[in-house]
């Protein structure tokens, strides 16, 4: 999807919440379009490993994504 693992983010933030970490990385696609990669990393004691889940939000959807998150959080 235009993503490369060795890309340096334009901006990056981390949220630590107990055994779960959230990574927010703003990146550029190969075509020069911005996208947000949100990664959840959760430590699992049973397997002694980190499970990772990612979603990508493309620039054309930033406003709708932000609006929807705000609606959900505001109740």
CA distance 3 to 43: 25
Listed in sequence order, the residues at least 6 apart from 62 whose beta carbon sits closer than 8 Å to its beta carbon are 34, 36
Encoded tokens for 3: 């993503």
Considering the domain boundaries, does residue 55 fall inside one? yes
Encoded tokens for 9: 């983010």
The secondary structure element, H or E, covering residue 10 is none
Instruction: Specify the pLDDT at position 59.
Output: 97
Considering the domain boundaries, does residue 6 fall inside one? no
CA distance 21 to 50: 10
Range of the domain at 59: 11-74
Instruction: Give this prediction's pTM.
Output: 0.82
User: What pLDDT digit, counting tens, does each position of 12-69 carry?
Assistant: 999 999 989 999 999 999 999 999 999 999 988 888 898 999 999 999 999 999 999 9
Here the CATH number for the domain that contains residue 33 is 3.10.450.700
Banded model confidence at residue 75, pLDDT cuts 50, 70, 90: confident
């Amino acid at each position: 999807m235009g993503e490369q693992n060795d890309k340096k983010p334009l901006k990056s933030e981390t949220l630590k919440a107990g055994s779960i970490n959230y990574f927010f990385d703003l990146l550029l696609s190969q075509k020069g379009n911005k996208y947000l990669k949100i990664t959840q990393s959760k430590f699992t004691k049973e397997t002694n490993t980190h499970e990772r889940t990612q979603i990508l939000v493309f620039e054309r959807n930033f406003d709708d994504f932000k609006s929807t998150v705000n609606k959900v959080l505001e109740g």
